[in-house]
Amino acid sequence: MHLMAVVGARPNFMKMAPVLREAKGCAEMEVTFLHTGQHYDEEMSDIFIEDLDLPEPDVFLGAGSGSHAQQTAQIMVAFENFLAGRKADLVIVGGDVNSTLACAIVAAKMEIPVAHVEAGLRSFDRTMPEEINRVVTDALSELLFTTCEDANASLEREGIPKEKIFFVGNTMIDTLMAYLNKAMEMGVHDRMGIEEGSYGLLTLHRPSNVDTAEAFGKVLDALEWIQNRMKILFPMHPRTRERIREFGLSGRLSGMPNMRLLPPLGYLEFLALMAKAKLVLTDSGGIQEETTILGVPCATLRWNTERPVTVREGTNVIVGNDPARIISAVSEILEGKHKQGARPKLWDGKAASRIVQVIKEHWEARGRRRRTEEGAGGKVMP
């Protein structure tokens, strides 16, 4: 069978890398690795390919940036043009970025089955573009691979047949477990002059936190208090860096002596820093999962999460962007009162092998049905 694996933005690489490796090791599969170009520069894309030992993509669509509508449309047009010349048997997408949605829509309209890695996650907040992407992609998918039982329940409530849903575990954790030792051997802490366990690690990029001066200012109010008590490492997303410039916040940040601003980091560098952080402050989704596995306290700077298992079973607490709540949560962590957390079910580093096994079985079953139908019609079987 011909499997087309799609990536577009940096979270996709961690989710799809183990699936690509498993699929490429399967004699029954021809694999095409397609990069839409949603994140296309060295900071946001190339370094992840290198860190995760991925081959160069077979196809690069070069979609680039733009508004949600522009970017989604550019990817759809480019992907449709490519598929018209080389039809796949299955298109597999991951996560909830615009590339995920765009390629799922195109494949479904061209009657190519879609598989969705990390299906069923729900924040129940339709103001988040990612939530729209998740819901639509799941509705179009033939195979839905979930990371937790909450996701199974969400899909069933939305009317997805149970036979399409496969609880396989978390491919991001496959990647973390495969690369943690390598990350720690890089000597990032020595190179940066940072003592392990002495710092907080911050990521901040969501529109709800950085797209207005008021919201960004509220987060900075809390960070000002925190950095008086510990060093904060802040690798900056390009859009966050642009908002800092736009809102004139550079002076405020430079006035925080323990706030260390960093460029975007590669996967391995960031993983090493996260593994030995005293705490993590983030508005990312995947980091909530990774800190749970690493046993690192995580305060999520959002009012909801599509990953409730990290709160119920892991190290994650939801604090929004209210300075008082952020400071209260960080105070508890600094006093050693944080949750210890546990490893969620099937987060064992074997999700990708389960995914590829399901795909093989699904393809073989389709072949048997096709042969039965052809036989019933009096056709000569191959």
- DSSP assignments along 240-263, one per residue: HHHHHHHHT-HHHHHT-TTEEEE-
How many other CB atoms are found less than 10 A from the CB of residue 255? 9
Nearest Cα to 355, choosing from 24, 19, 15?
Answer: 19
Task: Name the active-site residue from 205, 237, 338, 362.
Answer: 205
Residue 174 and residue 18 in contact, taking contact as beta carbons nearer than 8 Å: yes
Q: Which residue has the tokens 């990032």?
A: 188
| Residues with Cβ within 8 Å of residue 324, at least 6 apart in sequence | none
Q: How far apart are CA 298 and CA 341, in angstroms?
A: 11
Is 189 among the catalytic positions?
Answer: no
Strands 90-94 and 165-167: unpaired
Nearest Cα to 168, choosing from 185, 182, 152, 191?
Answer: 152
- Please, what is the end-to-end C-alpha distance for the chain in angstroms? 16
Q: How far apart are CA 90 and CA 72, in angstroms?
A: 20
Catalytic residues: 205
